[in-house]
Every structure is written in structure tokens, then in C-alpha cells.
Amino acid sequence: MEILKTVSEMQAWSDNIHQKGNQICLVPTMGYFHEGHLSLMEKGKKICSDLVVSLFVNPTQFSENEDLDSYPANIERDVKLAEKKGVSVIFMPDKKEIYPDRFQTYVELTELPAHLCGLSRPVHFRGVATVVTKLFNIVKPDVAVFGSKDFQQLQIIRRMVKDLNYNIKIVECPIVREDDGLAMSSRNAYLSPEQRLSALCLSKSLEKAEAMIEKGEIRTSTVKKELENYIKSFPFTKIDYISICDPETLDEIGDINSADTACPLLIAVAVYVGKTRLIDNRIINPGQ
Ligand code: AMP
């Protein structure tokens, strides 16, 4: 496995692979690997013989008040784990390599970021779209793998690939969870043991919503109210959003009825547990 740190080295490596007629798969990450990241690598390795994992804590997707400076890291461990998964290259650039002095070009979507996480993280998706565009131009992948844990991000990347005519196949990987249902996240490391218990409110509330809708509840306002009360019953929690929406447009759904409701539906939640902001989601198919 090679560790490459500059844009020119990475581009030259990719050109060489393509000249040999091979395809490249990219898994973009911010590091501090858990089983979720490793599942993306496994999937990528099955699709392409040459797998590039980028490890870059992207400053432009964090607001001033967020956790850029404290984001967890363990590069030595990450390198070992990636090597075990058969990764060909870890691309680990410096911030200056990606954002040189006088950098001023950003990629911004007009509609999808105006929902869910974009409402409380105003610069987040501009940062994500910009860094992923740059990674696509640097790594030149044929395939890129993203987790549905960050569902809005996945939809934004899919839209961006269409809008900007990238010839890159986007592959989705399901959410990997701890045994008790908590979605794996690098940020789970911030939780105290008591907060870790409260963090279960996210996955449990999604199960609850699905059960209510399966039993025939058609008013999304009723489902959301029930979830709000449920989540509030856990200590240390503060709700950012509870959403029941169309998975493609991310527009909120009013009442669920078979005639005009998008099917499937996305149920998504974001909750602060202490100072840690956690997200989770679930796709459901009402009436099926
Ligand atoms: P991050 O390092 O948090 O930016 O995540 C890198 C990639 O891993 C993104 O495509 C995430 O959606 C994906 N990912 C993060 N957590 C999980 C998880 N629990 N299950 C599946 N994919 C995940």
C-alpha cells in the first residue's frame, strides 16, 4: 500500500493505472476508521482491483463553532486497517495541498442543502461538494463509494455527478451499526458512558416511527410529535431535526397516503447528545 500526500503524485498514480486499462475506486473519508468505513472499502475492493482511500479532515465543511480542531484521529491505526483491507493507496494530503493560498472556487448546490443537516450546518455541504469535486479531479476514480449513514450527502453527490457530467459510478453502502443499534460514527468516541446510552434514542426513534407508520398512522405530524417526546425522555439530548421526507428531493411529506406520497420515504433524525451531534436515518416503504 502506498501513502501519497501530493496532488501531482496522486494524479500520476491514477493516470498510470488507467493506462494499464484498470479501473479505480475511491472511498473518501475523514479517518478514525470504524466498521462503517471498512465496509465501504470491502465493497470498493469487490468492484475495482485498485482502491484509493482518501483521508482528509476537510476544514471547509466545518463551521467555526464545530469540532474541526478536536476531530478524532489515529493515523497509524487507520493505515494498518486500510492495508488489511487491500487498499492500494491512502491519499493523505495536507490542508494547504487541497486549499492553497488564495483558494476561492467552491461547488454549491442550490436545493438539496436547504434541508435536514444543511439547515443547522450552513457551510457544510458547500465544503463537502467542493472537496469531493476536487477528490474526483485528483484521484480520477471510475467508481466512488459512500455510506447511506450520511444520506443527504449521498444524494448531493449523486446530484452533483449528474449536474457536472462526471463519468463516475456512485455506489451506496448500508449503515453499519453497533450491536445495540447505534449507527457507527467517528464522533461516537466523544460520548461518555451515560451519553452513549442516550445516543440509542436515534436508532430507537427510527424503529418507532416505522412501527407507527406500519400500523397505519398516516399523519407525519403525529409521528414526529411522538418521536420528539420519546427523544426528549433521554437525558442529555437536544433535537436538531426530525424529518419524514422524499428521499430524492428531501422535501417534507405531509400525510402519508398511497396516492401522492413518494415511496419509499426517508425518516431522518439529528440529535445533540451532550455536545455531540449525531445523525441517523431509515428508508421505509409504507404499505409494502
Ligand atoms: P466520514 O469519515 O465520517 O466522513 O465518513 C466517510 C464515509 O463513511 C462516508 O461515505 C460515510 O457515509 C461513511 N460512513 C460513516 N459511518 C458509516 C456507517 N456507520 N455505516 C456505513 N457507512 C458509514
What pLDDT is attached to residue 114?
A: 98
Q: Is the pLDDT reported for residue 286 higher than 70?
A: yes
Q: Which of 57, 149, 175, 179 has the most ligand 1 atoms within 8 A of CB, as the residue to mutate?
A: 149
Q: Is the pLDDT reported for residue 260 higher than 70?
A: no
Q: How far is the CA of 149 from the centre of ligand 1 (A)?
A: 6
Q: Give the active site residue among 34, 37, 115, 124.
A: 37
What are the tens digits of pLDDT across the range 142-172?
Answer: 999 999 999 999 999 999 999 999 999 999 9
Q: How far is the CA of 271 from the centre of ligand 1 (A)?
A: 17
Question: Of all residues in the chain, what percent carry a pLDDT higher than 70?
Answer: 98
The edge-to-edge listing of strands for the beta sheet with 276-284 is: 237-245, 265-273, 276-284
**Does the beta carbon of 29 sit less than 6 angstroms from any atom of ligand 1?**
yes
**Does the beta carbon of 218 sit less than 6 angstroms from any atom of ligand 1?**
no
What pLDDT is attached to residue 287?
A: 73
> What is the value of pTM for the model shown?
0.97
What are the tens digits of pLDDT across the range 101-132?
Answer: 999 999 999 999 999 999 999 999 999 999 99
Q: Is 212 exposed, middle or buried (0-12, 13-18, 19+ CB in 10 A)?
A: middle
List Cα–Cα distances, 106 to 60, 67, 95, 143, in angstroms: 10, 21, 15, 23
The residue among 77, 269, 54 whose CA lies nearest residue 183 is: 269
**Does the beta carbon of 3 sit less than 6 angstroms from any atom of ligand 1?**
no
Do 116 and 241 contact (CB within 8 A), yes or no? yes
The residue among 130, 186, 134, 175 whose CA lies nearest residue 156 is: 130
What pLDDT is attached to residue 144?
A: 99
**Does the beta carbon of 147 sit less than 6 angstroms from any atom of ligand 1?**
yes
Which domains are assigned to the chain? 2-173 (3.40.50.620), 186-283 (3.30.1300.10)
Q: Which atom of ligand 1 is nearest to the CA of 37?
A: 8
Q: How far is the CA of 267 from the centre of ligand 1 (A)?
A: 18
Give the Cα separation of 252 and 243 in Å (integer): 7
What are the tens digits of pLDDT across the range 261-270?
Answer: 668 999 999 9
For residue 79, give the H/E element and its range: helix 75-84
Catalytic residue at 124?
no
**Does the beta carbon of 184 sit less than 6 angstroms from any atom of ligand 1?**
yes
More confident residue, 96 or 255: 96
What pLDDT is attached to residue 221?
A: 97
Do 117 and 152 contact (CB within 8 A), yes or no? yes
